[in-house]
Amino acid sequence: MGRNGSGVRAASDTTIEITFTYQGTRCRERIRLQPTPANLKRAARHKAAIEAAIEGGTFDYAVTFPESTRAKQFARCPGDVTPTGTFLAEWLLRVEPTLAASTYADYKKTVNGPLAAFAAKKLTEIDQAELEDFCAKLKCGNKRIGNILSVLRIALDNAKDRKQVSINPVAGFSYTRNEPPKETDDIDPFSMEERAAILRVLDGQAYNLVQVAFWSGLRTSELVALDWRRH
């Protein structure tokens, strides 16, 4: 308590300490104010407002004292006090051993790139309105937007499994912007003459592989997985 039993006292030349009881626990928090008579009165009013909120059941420790070590202790949900950037960094470390190197590299690039926009926000602050605004500002196509949201969706599914959040705002959320039709087609197949010229310089299994590729429409990964043994 303060010297006069008010629960408000000068803690240093630049801070004032207030003392109050929350959920049966005696709490002390410092406010960055020079302890002048006027500021001590201001701190006393702040303490009174806190006690009124506690009595009314509306006090949120994490909102009032976000930097306090007690904020996590009294948080209604751990995600209320966990920065999204911190969680994503820890999540990357957890999932790295389970991912292919290329997948992990893409996840890391996404987390440190576009998803850094959420780094300072608490996990529970992300909602679909935030996601819509985020997607609208991205300078990329719909496919890349979908990939970015996919990484965030997977990460927040993990946050939900770990009871950091109660809902995943990306679940069921999608974003598609209207894109103008492409001026040129990406598909540029070989002509019949080009195919014949390529096959003329090949022999053996190389000839077989390329010929199958020309006429089957198989993807590269499907081609290399073919079993060429005779049965």
Beta strands in 67-184 (DSSP E): none
- Which of these CATH numbers, 1.10.150.130, 1.20.200.10, 1.10.1740.10, 1.20.1090.10, describes 84-161? 1.10.150.130
3-state secondary structure 33-56: CCCCHHHHHHHHHHHHHHHHHHHH
What was the pLDDT predicted at 118? 96
What was the pLDDT predicted at 183? 66
- Measure Cα distances from 74 to 64, 66, 207 in Å: 12, 11, 69
What was the pLDDT predicted at 182? 65
What was the pLDDT predicted at 189? 79
Question: What are the structural domain ranges in the chain?
Answer: 8-74, 84-161, 192-224
- The pLDDT tens digits along the chain (231 residues) read 445 568 999 999 999 999 999 888 899 999 999 999 999 999 999 999 999 999 998 888 878 887 887 877 776 777 777 889 999 999 999 999 999 999 999 999 999 999 999 999 989 889 999 999 999 999 999 999 999 999 999 999 999 998 888 899 999 999 998 876 666 666 777 888 998 899 999 988 888 888 888 888 788 888 777 776 765
What was the pLDDT predicted at 86? 93
The edge-to-edge listing of strands for the beta sheet with 8-10 is: 8-10, 16-22, 25-31
What was the pLDDT predicted at 131? 95
CA distance 186 to 128: 34
What was the pLDDT predicted at 2? 47
Q: Give the model confidence (pLDDT) of 139-191 as tens digits.
A: 999 999 999 999 999 999 999 998 888 899 999 999 998 876 666 666 777 88
Q: Give the model confidence (pLDDT) of 11-20 as tens digits.
A: 999 999 999 9
What was the pLDDT predicted at 96? 95
